[in-house]
Structure 1
Amino acid sequence: MTSNVEVPSAVDSSSKTSVDISMFDYTPSYCEENVYLLCKKLCLIGVADADGSDLFVVFISNEKKQVPMWHQKASSRADGVILWDYHVVCIQRKKEGKSLFQVWDLDSTLPFPAPLALYASEAVRPSFQLYPEYQRLFRVVHAPLFLRFFASDRRHMKDSVGNWISQPPTYENIVAEDGIVHNLDEYIHVSAADMVSDITHDSISGVLSQKFGLVVNETQLEDFFSRLVDT
């Protein structure tokens, strides 16, 4: 994930983290791998179900690969707004508590984790009037499937002559259970044609069984997760 031009807006936020963020591996610009390892760690330490069934990996992008996100550490602005080509977070369904869903975003200055409603209103801001090319789409993938099938050989982080755009993690490349060595592009690629028209029981069931999940828009995101409560 790389950033380009910044876009305007403003809000300041600070909050105590409920989990120490230093517990999690982090490599700048490799949000997909950071989330992969975060999911594994949450399962390992008992914060999530052992099989990750309460976790969902969410790829945020659009056809232009220009997605504004607020409260991002990489931003140089007071409101933390930046344009990513894509971004990846983890959303967890909690079994109890006031906020049934929470967002784990290692790149955010919001609480870690943040309630989904707070993250949506402050980091995504669906009510903010954006030009059509900045409208965001969200590919939601069930973590157990993501952990089995995601693969990256990091080719997307090399320039035309093979130099690293951003230094890679020190651990080995992630290879999928079926032997695939790179399918990151299939997760990142989203278009309006991929988007579900309505959030239905079938679409919710689909995200639990489809390798690449399903695609919703920014106004459908919270509705999709609210309906997961009944599954």
Structure 2
Amino acid sequence: MTTSTLEQSKLDVSHFNHTPFYCEENVYFLCKQLCGNGVADAEGSDLFVIFISNEKRQIPLWHQKASRRADGVILWDYHVICIQRKSSGDPLVWDLDSTLSFPSSLAPYVSETIRPSFQLFSEYRRFFRIVHAPLFLRCFASDRRHMKEPDGTWTAEPPIHKPIVAEDGTKHNLNEYLEIRPADVISNASSGSIKDAVFTQKLGVVVNENQLEEFFSQLP
């Protein structure tokens, strides 16, 4: 296997763990794999986990594999992706559920998937919780309770791996990451204190769809 073939194999979407409807767990293991295979920093310092949702839990995204429409649009309750920000080059989006290139550069991903210029009713506006991957990998936990009906049956078949438990023993805190309100949105995406907060706060910071690219362009 040549070096270029080896590098390409690291980026083949089929080589990453993916269980439909469990995007938060998929991204958790995506981050670990990118750190482990050398595509990202070993500690994940160049990776950020992005929770996309709103108060109504109704967010339209385009070019999604689960869609049955030609334009790939689907209404998720929430979605989770990873953005990689290196010291040089464009930020990269790792979205295991997207039909776009894997990974995609941030600008075209926003244009094609988020479509901020598309006029939406207020209840469909998307907000983005940006969490630094090292914090996410230490603190995130999910016992998958949100995927069970009242009678205990699964709404979608769960991953074969065990539920994710945080380093401190917490078994479930997904709801904390998904509580995204307009009031949480930062006022200035280029503020130094805001950029510092994403590296220190467990739940990161929240931006709107017009601030996402600016936020990553301002990171050191």
**TM-score band, normalised by shorter chain:** over 0.9
Tell me the equivalent position of 1:19: 11
2:48 maps to a residue whose letter is F
Q: Find the partner of 1:206 among 192, 197, 203.
A: 197
1:17–1:111: 8 Å Cα contact kept in structure 2? no
Query: Which structure 1 residue ranges, 5 or more long, are not aligned?
Result: 1-15
1:70 maps to a residue whose letter is W
Deviation at 1:23, TM superposition (A): 1.1
Partner SS state of residue 60, structure 1: strand
Tell me the equivalent position of 1:128: 118
What is the distance in 2 between the residues matched to 1:17 and 1:189? 36
Deviation at 1:29, TM superposition (A): 0.2
What is the distance in 2 between the residues matched to 1:223 and 1:79? 26
Tell me the equivalent position of 1:150: 140
1:175 maps to a residue whose letter is V
Alignment of 1:23-172 (within 5 A): 23-97=15-89, 100-172=90-162
Write out per-residue CA displacement over residues 201-220 of structure 1, whole angstroms, 9 at most, x where no aligned residue: 10011001000000000001
| C-alpha RMSD over aligned residues | 1.3
Percent identity over the alignment is 64
**Matched residues, number:** 212
Partner SS state of residue 36, structure 1: helix
Deviation at 1:129, TM superposition (A): 0.3
Deviation at 1:193, TM superposition (A): 1.2
Runs of 4+ in 1 over 4 A off after TM superposition: none
Partner SS state of residue 37, structure 1: helix
TM (norm. structure 2) is: 0.94
1:37 maps to a residue whose letter is F
TM (norm. structure 1) is: 0.90
The structure richer in helix per residue is 2
Deviation at 1:17, TM superposition (A): 9.6
